[in-house]
Amino acid sequence: MQFISSWIAGFQTLEETMEIVQHRRLHELPLLLAAKENDSERLKELLVNDRCDPLQRGALGETALHVAVQHNNMEAAQILIREAPGLINQPMTSDFYQGQTALHIATVNQSFSLVQLLIESGADVSSPRATGTFFSLSPKNLFYFGEHILVFAACVGNADIVKLLIDRGADLHAQDCWGNTVLHILVLQPSKNLSCQMFDFILSQERRDTEQPLYQIPNKQGLTPLKLAAAEGNITMFQHLVQKQRKAQWAFGPVTTMLYDVSEIDSWKTDQSVLEVIATARKSQPFNILNCQPSKELLKKKWKRCGRPYLWSLAALYILYMICVSLCCANRPLKPRLDNATDPRDITLYIQKTLEESYITEEDHLRLVGEIITVIGAIVLLLLEISQVLRVGLKFFACHQMWENPLHVMRISFSFLVLVTLVLRLTNTDGEVIPMSMALVSGWCYIMYFAQGFQMLGPFTIIIQKMAASDLLKFCWLMAVVICGYSMAFYIVFQTVDPVALGAFTPFPVSLVSTYQLFLNILNGPANYDVDLPFMYIVLYSSFCVIAFLLMFNLLIAMMGDTQAAMAKQKDELWRAQIAGTTVMMEHRIPKCLWSSCTPTDQDLDGRRYLSVEERRWLPLLPAELNRDQEDSDETDTDDEDRNINSWVETGGSHLIPGANDSIRILPQGEHWLASEEVYHI
């Protein structure tokens, strides 16, 4: 009993929150309490007392300076720094807040005066790292600010503190335990517009003589800030980054040709490109990146030039291959059965030939050629799947790709079944018709993979895959539970009756199969009007019909309807993601000499690849013009076009252009709206 009492007491102690423990500990230490209440007189009395340890810590490993800075007590902080300068760089020691210094706290609270005080007093701005679980990159945490003080300042969006830290020697290229720099962490912040502004400010503070620019440094996953923005589906940051690196080539009226840097986006000669990151994404948000330039134009050109022609060629080749497989199976070696059947239900007329008898005539030799082609094709398909496993990893392939894309299962099962048929043929073992027939089903159904080459059929194959991987799988689990329960119940009910009169549910394996057939409405309930059925069978069968036919099948139909409705809204994005994955896969598997002529990049400048994209920007009307349009809504379309053209030029000879927030700005005559970039007027 004493052990149980102590265990319960310990369990209750663990349930107490750290805030309560900290509050209790705080009132037990006068020095920390005085720092919290900004009691300067009490602080001075305690610090001059030899029995008071200025380095004493609270329940979370915090010192008095941490407490003073946390509560923004400037006077208490000044006294503590003056009387105990060793507190300045002291980190917190608990696992929850491990490594956090007072400068971390002042920075995240945006207290510029305290930050300046700590730095002038000798606080280290580069080395301290907050590595506690509270700061880790985890779905359980509500935020992620990295580990370094500079990153804390950037994430809260305080440019003054960022500038002060950089001027005092903070390392812009510092990386946390995940390899993320300050730019990576800004990509992950929920405030996208603020992150874009801070991103530009950080880059403006970077020295130009660095070996590797800050925006090109990858983290431990091999992702640069641009690739990370694509992986997270952060459209705002992705567009901001690609537009910062674009160049204007020429302009004519509303049409402008831009050169986009696609060195990190294009999968050609690039490991883990943006297209590959999107194609292998586990969530749907990254698919929206394919609607943004230059990803949309790049994928469109790559697909039209090489992706679609190669896929159609492979589809034609695979259909010819499956015709060959089907002919070999339809003309498999059979011979008439010579022995007499003893079972009146046995209707077998032909049996399988032995290996020695299978290859004698010229027709047999021709079939042998087809069978060799079949086996070689199965081995090639299996090797392609193995290469995919080696590239993405077994865990990701088994837990994600196979479940999300059942076509992988079809390809693996087809190759495996063909090889099993080969083994049965070589060993003169009966039963090759079983793997042969299943291989034909898997092989022909795999043609759905090539339907993605058609925009009309591609989205529907995706919907079928999603239904099979989610709705149908859930339904099968529920069906297995219902069948197991009712098959056992039927077996028990019919266990005491004559199996000759009613033998549909005895023995148990027969009961299991019969219940499965009842569930799919393949078999009607057992009926023998010469005998009485057990009463419990009527009860069980009635409830079985309600559960199986009324509830579960209608539930399956409703689930599939919801899936179809949800995916129909994003079918275009899903189709683009599918063709992106196909294009990336072909680039990895097709020899470079065949693919190099299809690279859509137009120019290589300074060792980086650029894609030319034509953009049309129609300029908005002035408010006065909009009001006039509303008043004169009965005018002809010709008059409307004239007003739109006239709205481009304002009285005084200035050009009207849209600003960053879709407002109208006025530039002097002759100045182009892309004045910050190189523009050639026609």
Tokens describing residue 251: 């302009």
For residues 390 and 658, the model is more confident at 390
CA distances from 597 to 268, 271, 302, 545 (A): 11, 19, 11, 62
For residues 298 and 418, the model is more confident at 418
Q: Does residue 680 have a pLDDT over 50?
A: no
Q: Does residue 95 have a pLDDT over 80?
A: yes
pLDDT of 641 reads 40
Beta carbons within 10 angstroms of residue 450's beta carbon: 21
**Scanning the structure block, which residue is given the tokens 């006025």?**
666
pLDDT band at 644 (very low <50, low <70, confident <90, very high): very low
Average pLDDT over residues 348-359: 84
DSSP 3-state assignment of 649?
strand
**Pairwise CA distance, residues 64 & 43, whole Å:** 10
For residues 14 and 67, the model is more confident at 67
Q: For all residues of the chain together, what is the average pLDDT?
A: 76
Q: Does residue 321 have a pLDDT over 90?
A: yes
* Exposure class string for 214-237: b at 16+ Cβ within 10 A, else e: bbebbbeeebbbbbbbbbbbbbeb
Region of poorest pLDDT, from 16-30, 107-121, 315-329, 418-432:
16-30
Name the pairing type of β-strands 649-650 and 334-336: unpaired
Region of poorest pLDDT, from 70-79, 251-260, 374-383:
251-260
Q: Does residue 52 have a pLDDT over 90?
A: no
Helix (H) or strand (E) holding 619: none
pLDDT band at 284 (very low <50, low <70, confident <90, very high): confident
Tokens describing residue 587: 């680039």
Q: Which residues, other chains included, contact 387 with Cβ-Cβ below 8 Å and sequence gap of 6+?
A: 589
Alpha carbon 18 to its chain's center: 34
Q: Does residue 634 have a pLDDT over 70?
A: no
* Exposure class string for 666-675: b at 16+ Cβ within 10 A, else e: eeeeeebbbe
Confirm if 466 and 490 have CB atoms less than 8 A apart.
no
Confirm if 88 and 122 have CB atoms less than 8 A apart.
yes
CA distances from 25 to 42, 73, 74, 102 (A): 18, 19, 22, 19
Q: Does residue 30 have a pLDDT over 80?
A: no
pLDDT of 326 reads 92
Confirm if 26 and 67 have CB atoms less than 8 A apart.
yes
Percent of the chain residues past pLDDT 70, beyond the cut? 79
Average pLDDT over residues 565-578: 76
Phi-psi region of 670 (alpha: psi -120 to 50; beta: other; left: phi over 0): left
Confirm if 536 and 493 have CB atoms less than 8 A apart.
yes
Percent of the chain residues past pLDDT 90, beyond the cut? 6
Q: Does residue 430 have a pLDDT over 70?
A: yes
**Pairwise CA distance, residues 165 & 42, whole Å:** 33
**Pairwise CA distance, residues 399 & 391, whole Å:** 15
pLDDT of 10 reads 44
β-pair partners for 102: none
For residues 294 and 586, the model is more confident at 294
Q: Does residue 596 have a pLDDT over 60?
A: no
pLDDT of 300 reads 83
Q: Which residues, other chains included, contact 440 with Cβ-Cβ below 8 Å and sequence gap of 6+?
A: 325, 326, 329
Average pLDDT over residues 144-156: 88
Q: Does residue 320 have a pLDDT over 90?
A: yes
Q: Is the dihedral of CA 559, 564, 567, 569 positive or negative?
A: negative
**How much is the pTM?**
0.69
**Max Cα-Cα span within the chain:** 113
Backbone angles phi, psi at 191, to 5 degrees: -85, 95
CA distances from 179 to 90, 182, 221, 348 (A): 25, 10, 8, 68
Confirm if 321 and 373 have CB atoms less than 8 A apart.
yes
Q: Is the dihedral of CA 170, 175, 180, 181 positive or negative?
A: positive
**Pairwise CA distance, residues 631 & 651, whole Å:** 22
Tokens describing residue 563: 């899936």
Q: Does residue 622 have a pLDDT over 50?
A: no
**Pairwise CA distance, residues 264 & 433, whole Å:** 50
Select from 157, 131, 135, 153 the least CA-distant residue to 144: 135
Q: Is the dihedral of CA 661, 662, 668, 671 positive or negative?
A: positive
9-246 is a CATH 3.40.50.1860 domain: no
**Pairwise CA distance, residues 3 & 13, whole Å:** 15
Confirm if 268 and 599 have CB atoms less than 8 A apart.
yes
pLDDT of 27 reads 55
CA distances from 223 to 201, 277, 383 (A): 21, 9, 29
CA atoms within a 13 Å half-sphere pointing along the CA-CB vector of 443: 27
Tokens describing residue 440: 């034909």
Average pLDDT over residues 518-531: 71
Identity of residue 667:
L
- What is the residue extent of each domain of the chain? 9-246, 299-456, 462-576
* Exposure class string for 74-100: b at 16+ Cβ within 10 A, else e: eebbbbbbeebeebbbbbbebeebbbb
Q: Does residue 342 have a pLDDT over 70?
A: no
Q: Does residue 9 have a pLDDT over 90?
A: no
pLDDT of 5 reads 46
Burial of 48 from C-beta contacts in 10 A (0-12 / 13-18 / 19+): exposed
**Pairwise CA distance, residues 405 & 466, whole Å:** 8
Burial of 638 from C-beta contacts in 10 A (0-12 / 13-18 / 19+): exposed
